[in-house]
Structure 1
Amino acid sequence: MSGAQPRPPVHLPDGVAEPAGLVDAVLAYEDALMADDVAALDAFFAPGPDTLRGDAAGLLLGHDAIAAFRRGRGGAPQRTLVRLEVRPVGSSGDAALVVAVVAPLGGGRGQQTQLWVRGAGGWVVEAAHVSAPAPAIDTRVWRVVGAPLVAPSDPVAAASGSLAGETIAVKDLFDVEGFRVGAGNPSWLAEAPVADGTAPAVAALLAAGASIRGIAQTDEFAYSVAGANAHYGTPPNPLAPGGLPGGSSSGPASAVASGQASIGLGTDTAGSVRVPASYTGLWGLRTTHGAVSRERLLPLADTFDTVGWLTRSAAVLRAVAIAILGEPSVELAASFLVDPALVAVADSAVQLAFSAGLAGIPVDPVGLGDPDELFETFRVVQAADAWRADGAWVTAHPDAVGAGTAARFAIAAAITPQQESAARAALATHRARLDALLGDRVLLLPSASSAAPSTTADSAELDRVRAATLRLCCIAGLTGRPALSVPMLSAPGPFGGDAPLGLCLVGPRGSDVALIALGEKLAAALGGR
């Protein structure tokens, strides 16, 4: 029996004997957990594909998936056992349900429920569920929350407006009167002034009857599509446990996917609404460039920045779009284009899911040009804009920015005026040519190059995924067109099983609301969410 974890009170039904060796195994497991002894913990979980582990972040299936998750989490919060409730299962004495009440070092009480079975090698866990004390605020998702944080601006709209009862997670780039903009960086937040007004994109939602649930986290300066933040952590992805949520609208996506808000107000420069929508199984719309005011919005790249929304249903997204943009003047015909060379930049599993998902839908092939060349034009213009917007601050605060963001700003700093000028000329040429090719038809492509990568993926893997995803996403940016991510596909997740994958529809400029309606029809025809 281990000596590190003291034996807590053990309760069994009257007249039922304690299974031999079970409590010793539970205590040894706790010792390994507190020491983050990954090898020992792996040995305590039953081998095979049917072993289960669940918590508030989701369910993991199979020993290998659980082991991979455990290796990447960096240990569990320190705790002690308060008591054990043991209930033998069956008559053999070789299985028991154990409920452990635990006292985390940080306070509160939690529970761990495990199904233990005894085999030739001793007791192992076949299924486990962990319930931790609920935090007052998950700072990975939210910077500040309220109940509500800001009420609807019109009492009549609050009761009967088109968005009455809806709650907003505002990306931490928009001004909300009385609050600071944090931009995903604590040093920026510390220096930011209190906003003396509210961004029109926020105010319009409030005027339609929605309330602000809170200000949600973002990747630093919105300069990423991964969803990890070096300062605040990675917002959880409830639809792909152990996976990244996608960025830079990571906080709003996580909040909406987990049911903490019904509308995520985000921005999309190079995919920052579409990618988190894809990773977390949401509907996400990047609006036509310039269709929604960007006043009182911290910019990343003015040439491409757009406002966008994330929702769990098409109905709510449609209501938001109509409230802000008005009813559509025309319907889009179900006339679709696919660029095989563009789709080919995605992972093979995504290509397969995309092809299978469109089976039976008539599409015409189109060649939009070399994806590398198109992206290079986008990248240079975006980087030049980003450095113009934030370069002075980054230069003055060299140690305040996370490594990944700092590396991107370093690349941006090196863009010469000649390179920018050439890229802007190429942008105009590409836009004219792409408009001629696309016309009023709708381009279909995967919303991202993969399902959500693992939170444990190394920088090389994340760079590879990012590069491929940005090649898919840059078409909407180059053309200023709206793009809708529809949660109707799936691909292998970071720890096994299926994870969400969005189908992206890129429509003509100004077709935002009609694009949602077309997305709904397509999802219904193909069995989407």
Structure 2
Amino acid sequence: MSDPSEHPAEDIAHDLQGFVGLPDGVEPPPQLFDAFWAYEAALMDDDLERLGAFFATGPDVMRGDGSGLLVGRENIDRFRTGRGGAPARTVTEIQVRPITETHAYVTSVNAPDKGGRGLVTQLWERCGDQDATPGGWVITAAHVSAPPPAMDTRIWRVLGSPLVPATTADGPLAGATVAVKDIVAVPGQRIGAGVPAYLAEATVEESPADALAALLSAGASVQGIAQTDQFAYSIAGKNAAYGTPPNPAAPGAIPGGSSSGPASAVASGQATLGLGTDTAGSIRVPASYQGLWGLRPTHGAVSLKGVLPLAPSYDTPGWLARDGATLRAAAAATLDASAQRAIPSDQAVVAAALFEVADADVRHGLGDVIDALAAHGLFASLEPVSVPAPAELFRIFRSTQSAEAARSWQEWIGLHPGALAEDVAERFAWAASVTPAQEEEALEAKRQVREAIDAALGDAILLLPSASSVAPPLDASAERLQQVREATLGITAVAGITGRPALSLPLLELDGGPVGLSLVGPRGSDLALIDIALGWVDALQ
């Protein structure tokens, strides 16, 4: 079909019967079609300035799609900037229902060049600048339905139905599906680690990683292998080779990494469980950003056999789920019950220093959550404690983790120049610069800090932010991402340095997205932490 934008707008309904639908006897609102086609042209050109002019200003304008709802012109503009353009398409049908002289409801059907059918519904209002858009028509609300992909390669590297069946038809996880982070061995598949050059040389795994075998034996099946940051060396969730997994809880924001693929799969309902790893916060951060339950278990409680290393003294498998009961079932199926211990459910502590580095909205919002828990009588005591400054925790963690990361991967990186994204390559280059003397000093500081934190916490539950902020937008500056990274790692390092379990709960929703509250308990209290958290959530409902 020829481009209808070449026709006079008022003649479209008459010239293209079946293409444009209007109620009998109703004329199209003046210049509405001119505005519609001008918007389509700007969309195909990815002209951000022109596209912005077609959306109403203010906090009430809306845009929704399968990834979620954006409210407010600022959020819509930010999403559009980070999207990188819309897929090429041809509009095949338009249905218009005028509401008033200044309002019209428009639904259009489109055929993307890559196949399928899409649907766009818009509420247009004649209230804009007539010099900026034809007739001053602007969009006040829009919903976009794109053709569903057979597989979203931002989330999945390999997908099955299932990819690997459960080893039993019964069990506490019967019927559950698992998104496996791409550093965990899946039988019959290769490990890619988010790096195409590594995947190309990888051999097929014969056996599942121990952590995966436990889930298969509990009745879960593998849905697929989910994407990760390159060599799991990030907490942002971006991957230059495969794209950034979407964040269903905060459209237009990063998903959190490095277990970003499993988190997105679970948050979007494409898997029941995410099997990931947590070295610096890679379970807790995506759980926080995407409104999930996430557990970093006691260090050493879950076997790392079949899992690519990053920094073994910090690495641990962990799980992501949409609800606490599913998370508990996964943990119980994997952890040695005889090594688990009970702890008091009503003894909690807070450290002001761990909240002060968080953004103000996170600090105040989580403070309100803790106050609500206290108001329900869930704490016999809620005491302040002192822990080392987050900046010092970050310094210790960074030096010790980086030295291990360099030992794990620097030889391979040296043999594969250009294989890594720039930010990850820079991180590994810094890691390689840590001298043995610097590592030794940091290890001694780590020992002292661990003892100090253990003495301060005892058997109480430490309450702290899971991340220092809501998920930053996709177009956040490198400086902002680094600031968030350092602040967050200064918080998450408490569990990493002490080896204590840390559970992230989705108890707070801010304007920019969800934020998790973390519970850090004594070593071996993993299941007890989940049980306590389930009781707290029930009390708040």
Mapped partners of 1:373, 1:489: distance in 2: 27
Mapped partners of 1:323, 1:123: distance in 2: 58
Residue pair 2:236, 2:255 contacting (<8 A) in 1 also: yes
Q: 386, 394, 399: which is aligned to 1:367?
A: 386
Within a 5 Å distance, the mapping from 1:318-329 to structure 2 comes to 318-325=328-335, 327=337, 328-329=340-341
Report deviation, 1:356: 1.2
What does residue 43 of structure 1 align with?
53
Report deviation, 1:118: 2.2
Report deviation, 1:10: 1.2
What does residue 447 of structure 2 align with?
428
What does residue 105 of structure 2 align with?
97
Within a 5 Å distance, the mapping from 1:76-475 to structure 2 comes to 76-89=86-99, 92-119=100-127, 121=130, 122-154=136-168, 158=169, 160-325=170-335, 327=337, 328-359=340-371, 361=374, 362-475=381-494
1:506 aligns with 2:520: yes
Residue by residue over 1:283-341, the C-alpha shift from the partner in whole angstroms, topping out at 9 and shown as x without a partner, is: 00001011011001001100100110000001111111111125554243321111111
Report deviation, 1:140: 0.5
Residue pair 1:349, 1:492 contacting (<8 A) in 2 also: no
Report deviation, 1:492: 3.4
Mapped partners of 2:127, 2:473: distance in 1: 32
Report deviation, 1:79: 1.2
Residue pair 1:32, 1:41 contacting (<8 A) in 2 also: yes
TM-score when normalising by structure 1: 0.95
Mapped partners of 1:17, 1:342: distance in 2: 62
Report deviation, 1:213: 0.5
What does residue 75 of structure 2 align with?
65
Mapped partners of 1:170, 1:221: distance in 2: 14
Q: 31, 34, 37: which is aligned to 2:41?
A: 31
Q: Residue type matched to 1:95 in 2?
A: H
Report deviation, 1:77: 1.2
1:435–1:37 Cα change, 3 Å: same
Q: Residue type matched to 1:301 in 2?
A: A
Report deviation, 1:23: 1.3
Residue by residue over 1:7-29, the C-alpha shift from the partner in whole angstroms, topping out at 9 and shown as x without a partner, is: 76212222322222211111111
Report deviation, 1:210: 0.4
* Bigger Cα displacement from structure 2, 412-421 vs 71-80: 71-80
Mapped partners of 1:49, 1:12: distance in 2: 31
* Bigger Cα displacement from structure 2, 31-40 vs 232-241: 31-40
Mapped partners of 2:287, 2:8: distance in 1: 43
* Bigger Cα displacement from structure 2, 514-523 vs 116-125: 116-125
Q: Residue type matched to 1:32 in 2?
A: A
Q: Percent identity?
A: 56
Q: Residue type matched to 1:421 in 2?
A: E
TM-score when normalising by structure 2: 0.92
Mapped partners of 1:10, 1:152: distance in 2: 51
Q: Residue type matched to 1:355 in 2?
A: G
Residue pair 1:5, 1:31 contacting (<8 A) in 2 also: no
Q: Residue type matched to 2:118 in 1?
A: G
1:93–1:492 Cα change, 3 Å: closer
Report deviation, 1:342: 1.9
Mapped partners of 2:389, 2:140: distance in 1: 50
1:4–1:75 Cα change, 3 Å: farther
Q: Residue type matched to 2:203 in 1?
A: P
Report deviation, 1:5: 12
Residue by residue over 1:102-127, the C-alpha shift from the partner in whole angstroms, topping out at 9 and shown as x without a partner, is: 11121221111111122373222111
Q: Residue type matched to 1:356 in 2?
A: D
Residue pair 2:92, 2:111 contacting (<8 A) in 1 also: yes
Residue by residue over 1:47-70, the C-alpha shift from the partner in whole angstroms, topping out at 9 and shown as x without a partner, is: 222211111111111222212222
Mapped partners of 2:248, 2:476: distance in 1: 18
Mapped partners of 1:80, 1:414: distance in 2: 53
Mapped partners of 1:472, 1:418: distance in 2: 25
Residue pair 1:168, 1:264 contacting (<8 A) in 2 also: yes
What does residue 66 of structure 2 align with?
56
Report deviation, 1:429: 2.0
User: Counterpart of 2:157 in 1: which secondary structure?
Assistant: strand
* Bigger Cα displacement from structure 2, 92-101 vs 388-397: 92-101
Residue pair 2:301, 2:336 contacting (<8 A) in 1 also: no
Residue pair 1:83, 1:102 contacting (<8 A) in 2 also: yes
Mapped partners of 1:443, 1:277: distance in 2: 18
Instruction: For structure 1, list consecutive stretches of 5 or more residues without a partner in the other structure.
Output: 494-498
Mapped partners of 1:318, 1:71: distance in 2: 39
User: Counterpart of 2:371 in 1: which secondary structure?
Assistant: coil
Residue by residue over 1:192-232, the C-alpha shift from the partner in whole angstroms, topping out at 9 and shown as x without a partner, is: 11112111100110000001100000011110001111111
Residue pair 1:283, 1:311 contacting (<8 A) in 2 also: yes
* Bigger Cα displacement from structure 2, 452-461 vs 35-44: 35-44
Residue by residue over 1:461-508, the C-alpha shift from the partner in whole angstroms, topping out at 9 and shown as x without a partner, is: 100000000000001010101000010023331xxxxx1100000000
Q: Residue type matched to 2:517 in 1?
A: L
User: Counterpart of 1:358 in 2: which secondary structure?
Assistant: helix
Q: Residue type matched to 2:235 in 1?
A: V
User: Counterpart of 1:515 in 2: which secondary structure?
Assistant: helix
Residue by residue over 1:371-405, the C-alpha shift from the partner in whole angstroms, topping out at 9 and shown as x without a partner, is: 22222111111001101111111111120100111
Residue by residue over 1:339-390, the C-alpha shift from the partner in whole angstroms, topping out at 9 and shown as x without a partner, is: 1112111111111112111115242111112222222111111001101111
Q: Residue type matched to 1:140 in 2?
A: R
1:5–1:365 Cα change, 3 Å: farther
Residue pair 2:287, 2:320 contacting (<8 A) in 1 also: yes
